[in-house]
Amino acid sequence: MTRPLRVVAVSGALQSPSKSAGLAQHLLNLITEQMPCQPRLVDLGLLAPQLTGAVWRTQVPDAVSQALTAVEQADVLVVATPVFRASYTGLFKHFFDLIEQDALIDTPVLLAANGGSERHALVIDHQLRPLFSFFQARTLPLGVYATDKDFVDRRLSDEAVIERARLAVQRAVPLLELTRQCLRDALPSVAEQMLAA
């Protein structure tokens, strides 16, 4: 029997609640509607006071360490960040600077961002995609970008963006199903290894 996918969403906003967390949660909800999942939202706005004082992984407190481990052990990642100075936030980058370099190899990653206007929409391809290519993750082909006017009370409200989010998840489903298949195929070999030990 296949275990549910561990789907972890990371919001890179500097405060909480935030539009980025709302966007990440929206995408997380869409994925959980498609298949059995163990969803988790890592809201960096809540972790910021504990995260910003750490230079090395060994210096982070337990809450940050648990968030880093959750991302490293995720079967699927959703990342969302506000655009800050034409890129992702420094807090978002600092968090991923502490991720083990090989932990995200082949992990599917759904990219999302939000900003003040449409002028920043290319942040997904010019900033986020290269970052996760460094990790050798599998960035999904369709990203989701939203502007401030696309939210009401930090929740997506614009129909066009909601439809794009739905399409991004729909196009991701075949890869996510493949990930589930790999998990199912791996389970017997893990059991065999345990019996042999």
Q: What is the pLDDT of residues 84-110, one digit of tens each?
A: 988 999 999 999 999 999 999 999 999
Q: What is the mean pLDDT of residues 137-162?
A: 95
Q: What is the pLDDT of residues 98-144, one digit of tens each?
A: 999 999 999 999 999 999 988 899 999 999 999 999 999 999 999 99
Q: Specify the pTM.
A: 0.90
174 versus 196: the higher-pLDDT residue is 174
The percent of residues in the chain predicted with pLDDT above 90, rounded, is 79
Q: Which domains does the chain have, with CATH numbers?
A: 5-196 (3.40.50.360)
Give me the chain's average pLDDT, please: 91
Token couple for 37: 């999942």
Q: Sign of the CA dihedral 114, 116, 119, 123? A: negative
Predicted local distance difference test score (pLDDT) of residue 186: 65
Which DSSP state fits 36?
Answer: -
